[in-house]
């Protein structure tokens, strides 16, 4: 499910022996972006409209166990969206992943490119949504450039045509705004960087339908846009008979989307645009299949970060091996989420020293900053927050400041990662002694072979410090009772 700024979309599909069969789709024009107020909050009216729509979606989800729901631009921009997200989760019985603009662009390109035959041509894929427009340049299934700009059909409708009346002055201001937003991207998106332009999603499909009704063309051309421009009822509002081929549900936001595409054609030098029937929904589904199979984009992202920042991979592997051994001691507390938790611990072990590329002093803080603020393919905002939290807290003083999106802080995972780092301080292979971990409310018990501990005085000392760190945040860490 794609909770977009203009529409909510759902796609239901079945996978049999690697073959994907779409069995149902549903879309509702919720116009969530209309409810985003100047202070960043979502109006009660917009929330009620969205929740009513999702109750209808929920009926179709009955009996389906594998569900993924993502939120895009409006939910990214909303101030304190967690209470609203919790209401959605109660209805859909599954969490909502709010994704970044770069991740949205990646999923769009994945959906578009996967349904096109192999080609030597370089693609410029453009997706005009309700709150933002994504620009992707790539070849076949590999995207090379991904950008997102605040150019949405709903946003532009609110900013330039709030009462629905279309004037030349308003239209020119909207087109000029597109030029302003893309000023820094003229070279990156110039016509010599790509061979063909492909458009996706509702606004571009709606424009394509009008062009087809007027001219009979299956593509959008400069002449096609001019024909639409010539039919604009200046000084009036768009009605059902204004543009042939335009669905009624697109009328309120059509001119917002048209002004965006009109400006993009000019800035990027586009002469002709192919219209793709596929977009983020298909990309989201393909990505989900990869996650549940052997191809998880998040694993590739972590590997790329390790290579780029020169992480000591052998040491990370040792910490990862240790943290998984410790995880087995605590799995009773985390059993229901064991697969998710296991992956998060592995990624945190892989990246816990990423900040050393900046400086040794405070490298855990540098690493957390990189993770929290970077574009990480495949990761939702909440996943990045949790991963950054683990990296930040793998050493030194424990930091428990509230996380964005009210992300759960997962202190049991912090404990496991910290212990794994303590046991691997010598940066050589280590055999763990017999041990056991218990976690009950704010009391943690850690039993470890006393003779082994006596032969490892630095580890003994570090565990004593660990007790003090946990005590500072109100937790009682008991180690063999007599340490």
Query: By percentage, how much of the chain surpasses pLDDT 70?
Result: 98
Task: Give the tokens for residue 25.
Answer: 């789709």
Domain assignment present for residue 176? The answer is yes
pLDDT confidence of 173, banded at 50, 70, 90? Answer: very high
Say yes or no to pLDDT of 335 above 90: no
Main-chain dihedrals φ then ψ at residue 26, nearest 5 degrees:
-155, 140
Q: Are residues 349 and 206 in the same domain?
A: no
Q: Are residues 93 and 126 in the same domain?
A: no
pLDDT confidence of 483, banded at 50, 70, 90? Answer: very low
Domain assignment present for residue 139? The answer is yes
Render pLDDT for 81-131 as a digit per residue (tens, 0 to 9): 989 999 999 999 999 999 999 999 999 999 999 878 888 899 999 999 999
Domain assignment present for residue 402? The answer is yes
The conformation of residue 130, written as its DSSP 8-state character, comes to S
CATH code where residue 224 lies: 3.30.420.150
Q: Are residues 206 and 127 in the same domain?
A: yes
Q: Are residues 324 and 420 in the same domain?
A: yes
Which residues span the domain enclosing 155?
102-278
Q: Are residues 60 and 167 in the same domain?
A: no
Higher pLDDT, 21 or 20: 21
Q: Are residues 21 and 107 in the same domain?
A: no
Domain assignment present for residue 370? The answer is yes
> What mean pLDDT do residues 310-337 have?
87
Q: How far, rounded to the nearest angstrom, does the alpha carbon of residue 349 sit from its chain's CA centroid?
A: 22
Task: Report pLDDT for 18.
Answer: 63
Q: Which alpha helices (DSSP H) does 149-269 contain, by range?
A: 153-160, 168-181, 202-215, 222-230, 254-268
Task: Give the tokens for residue 81.
Answer: 């969206």
Q: Are residues 31 and 74 in the same domain?
A: yes
Task: Report pLDDT for 334.
Answer: 67
Q: Are residues 265 and 406 in the same domain?
A: no
pTM of the full structure: 0.82
Kindly tell me the burial class for residue 126, based on how many C-beta atoms sit within 10 Å of its own C-beta (0-12, 13-18, 19 or more): buried
CA-closest candidate to residue 14, choices 23, 1, 5: 23
Domain assignment present for residue 471? The answer is no
> Where is the domain boundary, 396, 413, 428?
428
Domain assignment present for residue 107? The answer is yes
pLDDT, the chain, mean: 93
> What mean pLDDT do residues 19-45 have?
92
Q: Which of 125-129, 179-183, 338-342, 376-380 has the lowest mean pLDDT?
A: 338-342
Say yes or no to pLDDT of 430 above 50: yes
Domain assignment present for residue 435? The answer is no
Domain assignment present for residue 13? The answer is yes
Task: Report pLDDT for 114.
Answer: 85
Task: Report pLDDT for 290.
Answer: 80
Q: Are residues 254 and 122 in the same domain?
A: yes
Please provide the distance, in angstroms rounded to a whole number, between the alpha carbons at the two ends of the chain.
52
How many independent structural domains does the chain possess? 3
pLDDT confidence of 15, banded at 50, 70, 90? Answer: confident
Q: Are residues 271 and 198 in the same domain?
A: yes
CATH code where residue 17 lies: 3.30.420.40
Q: Are residues 89 and 121 in the same domain?
A: no
């Amino acid at each position: 499910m794609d909770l977009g700024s203009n529409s909510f979309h759902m796609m239901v599909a079945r996978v049999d022996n690697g073959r994907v069969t779409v069995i149902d789709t549903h879309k509702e024009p919720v116009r969530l972006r209309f409810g985003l107020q100047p202070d960043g909050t979502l109006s009660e009216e917009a929330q009620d409209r969205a929740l009513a729509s999702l109750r209808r979606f929920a009926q179709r989800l009955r009996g389906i166990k594998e569900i993924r729901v993502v939120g895009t631009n409006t939910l990214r921009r909303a101030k304190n969206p967690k209470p609203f997200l919790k209401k959605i989760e109660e209805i859909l019985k599954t969490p909502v992943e709010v994704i970044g603009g770069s991740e949205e662009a990646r999923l769009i390109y994945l959906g578009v490119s996967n349904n096109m035959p192999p080609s030597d041509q370089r693609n410029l894929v453009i997706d005009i949504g309700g709150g933002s427009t994504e620009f992707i340049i790539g070849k076949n299934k590999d995207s090379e450039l991904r950008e997102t700009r605040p150019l949405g059909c709903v946003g532009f409708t609110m900013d330039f045509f709030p009462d629905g009346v279309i004037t030349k002055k308003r239209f020119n201001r909207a087109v000029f705004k597109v030029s302003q937003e893309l000023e820094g991207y003229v070279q990156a998106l110039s016509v010599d960087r790509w061979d063909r332009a492909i458009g996706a999603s509702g606004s571009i499909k709606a424009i394509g339908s009008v062009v087809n009704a007027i001219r009979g063309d299956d593509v959008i051309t400069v002449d096609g846009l001019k024909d639409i421009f010539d039919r604009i009822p200046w000084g009036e509002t768009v009605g059902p008979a204004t543009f042939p081929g335009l669905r009624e549900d697109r009328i309120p936001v059509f001119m917002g989307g048209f002004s965006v595409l009109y400006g993009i054609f000019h800035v990027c030098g586009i002469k002709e645009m192919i219209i793709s029937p596929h977009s983020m929904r298909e990309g989201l589904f393909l990505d989900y299949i990869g996650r549940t199979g052997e191809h998880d984009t998040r694993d590739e992202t972590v590997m790329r970060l390790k290579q780029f920042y020169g992480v000591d991979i052998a040491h990370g592997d040792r910490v990862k091996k240790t943290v998984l051994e410790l995880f087995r001691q605590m799995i009773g507390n985390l059993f229901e989420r064991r697969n998710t938790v296991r992956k998060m611990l592995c990624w945190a072990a892989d990246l816990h020293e990423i900040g050393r590329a900046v400086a040794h002093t405070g490298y855990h803080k540098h690493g957390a900053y990189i993770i929290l603020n970077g574009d990480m393919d495949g990761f939702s905002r909440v996943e990045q927050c949790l991963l950054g939290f683990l990296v930040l807290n793998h050493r030194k003083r424990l930091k428990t400041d509230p996380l964005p999106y009210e992300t759960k802080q997962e202190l049991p995972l912090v404990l496991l990662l910290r212990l794994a780092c303590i046991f691997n301080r010598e940066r050589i292979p280590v055999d763990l002694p017999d041990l056991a971990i218990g976690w009950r409310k704010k009391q943690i018990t850690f039993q470890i072979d006393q003779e082994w501990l006596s032969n490892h005085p630095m580890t003994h000392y570090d565990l004593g410090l660990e007790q003090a760190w946990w005590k500072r945040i109100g937790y009682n860490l008991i180690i063999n009772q007599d340490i």
